[in-house]
């Protein structure tokens, strides 16, 4: 069996996490984004089923142990459609400060069993991770309301609900929840 390839979309070179602007300065937001991305990368490295880690970004990330996929800015779903293919592909967001390697493994096991697994955000509106055993010509549906769209596109997919896969940081209340829940990887940068 081939290992899983993980893709982390990351908008390097653009202002990020602007909804946190009332809570964090631009430099604090950049440090937060980097700390969360490094945490996700570390957890993916610790997951034995993950063979390769790619960062999809307009600018080269330079994170150790990752490979760069150049984002040509045609939209996340189209970018992913260009790089998906082959076998065992995981798309996982970089803003999951509580992610644990065991949760990654659980998601991948479920995808291996039924062909696909979806990890919704805590509001069950967005998709924080999507694992496809055989992505083929699949075009993801990330963006507002992506969880419902992914469920429609992948009706037999396993739904994996785990705290580290659910708690993403987009708004100040997400940041507070992550910190209260023990996200030590982001406590120092902010």
How confident is the model at residue 108, as a pLDDT?
A: 98
Residue 64 CB: number of other CB atoms within 10 A? 8
Stretch 26-43: mean pLDDT: 91
How far from the centroid of its chain's Cα atoms is residue 189's Cα?
Answer: 20
Yes or no: say if 160 and 104 are a contact pair by the CB < 8 Å rule. Answer: no
Among 29-38, 113-122, 157-166, the least confident range: 29-38
Domain tally for the chain? Answer: 1
pTM over 0.75: yes
Alpha carbon of 134 to those of 111, 143, 180: distances in Å?
10, 22, 37
Residue 51 sits at φ, ψ, to 5 deg, of -95, -35
User: Mean pLDDT, the chain, as a whole number?
Assistant: 90
Q: Which domain holds residue 65?
A: 4-186
pLDDT band at 91 (very low <50, low <70, confident <90, very high): very high
- Tokens representing residue 177 in the block: 């929840």
User: Which DSSP category does 184 fall into?
Assistant: G
How far from the centroid of its chain's Cα atoms is residue 106's Cα?
Answer: 15
Which CATH number belongs to the domain containing residue 27 in this structure? 3.90.550.10
């Amino acid at each position: 069996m081939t290992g899983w390839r993980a893709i982390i979309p990351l908008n390097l070179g653009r202002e990020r996490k602007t909804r946190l602007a009332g809570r964090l300065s631009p430099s604090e937001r950049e440090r937060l984004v980097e700390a969360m991305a490094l945490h996700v990368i570390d957890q993916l490295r610790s997951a034995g089923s993950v063979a390769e880690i790619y960062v999809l970004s307009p600018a080269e990330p330079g994170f150790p142990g990752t490979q760069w996929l150049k984002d040509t800015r045609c939209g996340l779903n189209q970018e992913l459609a260009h790089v998906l293919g082959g076998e065992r592909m995981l798309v996982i967001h970089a803003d999951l400060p509580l992610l644990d390697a065991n949760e990654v493994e659980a998601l991948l096991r479920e995808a291996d069993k039924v062909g696909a697994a979806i990890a919704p955000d805590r509001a069950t509106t967005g998709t924080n991770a999507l694992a496809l055993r055989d992505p083929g010509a699949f075009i993801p549906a990330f963006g507002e309301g992506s969880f419902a769209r992914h469920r429609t596109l992948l009706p037999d997919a396993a739904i994996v609900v785990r705290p580290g896969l659910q708690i993403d940081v987009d708004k100040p209340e997400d940041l507070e929840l992550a910190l209260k829940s023990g996200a030590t990887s982001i406590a120092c940068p902010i």
